[in-house]
Amino acid sequence: MDQKQKEFVKRLKSNKKKKVITNLRWVVVITIMAFFISILFSFISESILPNVPVLIGVVVLVSFILIGVLFDMIGVAVTAADEKPFHSMSAQKVRGARVAITLKRNADKVGSFCNDVIGDICGIISGSAGVMVALALSESFGIEQVILSLLVTGLTAAFTIGGKALGKGVAIAKSNMILYECSKIISYFYNPKRS
């Protein structure tokens, strides 16, 4: 091996080490975020559901399902989107274009946050919210609790899985539009510097 090849291999190993360290940091950050977000969502669920009428409990349950589906769509859309159109939009200073580029360049992290953190937490919370709704329905209508729990759990899982399946197809077909709309909203709170 000549000197240039040795230097290339050395740089390659150095880049791999930096990437591993960056990935480890991201894993720690995402784990801590998941912990606190799940506590927040659980607190909302646990404090609201026992004290509200059944109809509002159902609305809260459906809201958690919809949030999970929406964030799943965003994670898939960012992964599937094409970065090129956003560069020309950025050159024309279109709101959200720089954010879209940043999100696309960090698609693995965005996907992990949207799909794994928010999506999975919403799935878990909607499951426990479903049990509380089933208990409230059982008390209100005098129906066997086991039957209602099974029914609500099945419906919650079906709507979550069906919604995510439908959402993934839409997210892939309309990935650039979804990424752009999300980036426009995010740009009101965060606007990355031009590189």
Tens-digit pLDDT profile for the chain (195 aa)? 667 666 656 665 665 666 656 678 888 888 898 899 888 888 877 787 777 788 888 898 999 999 999 999 999 999 999 999 999 999 999 999 999 999 999 999 999 899 988 988 898 888 888 888 888 888 888 888 888 889 999 999 999 999 999 999 999 999 999 999 999 999 999 877 765
Structural domain of 60: 3-186
Q: Is residue 191 part of a domain?
A: no
> Is residue 193 domain-resident?
no
Is 154 part of any domain? yes
Q: What is the CA radius of gyration of the chain?
A: 22
> Which ranges constitute the DSSP H helices of the chain?
3-48, 54-80, 84-91, 97-105, 107-111, 120-141, 145-173, 175-186
What local confidence, expressed as pLDDT, does residue 139 receive? 83
Is 55 a domain residue? yes
Nearest to 61 by CA among 186, 172, 148: 148
Is position 165 within any domain?
yes
**C-alpha distances out from residue 178 to 54, 87, 90, 173, 187, Å:** 34, 16, 17, 10, 14
**Exposure of 142 in the CB half-sphere (CA atoms within 13 A):** 0
Note the pLDDT of residue 73: 96
Q: Would you state the pLDDT for residue 26?
A: 81
Residue 195 in any domain: the answer is no
* pTM confidence score: 0.80
Q: Are 167 and 72 in contact (CB under 8 A)?
A: yes
194 in a structural domain: no
Write down the pLDDT at residue 1.
61
Q: Helix 175-186 to helix 97-105 angle, to the nearest 10 degrees?
A: 110
Number of domains in the chain: 1
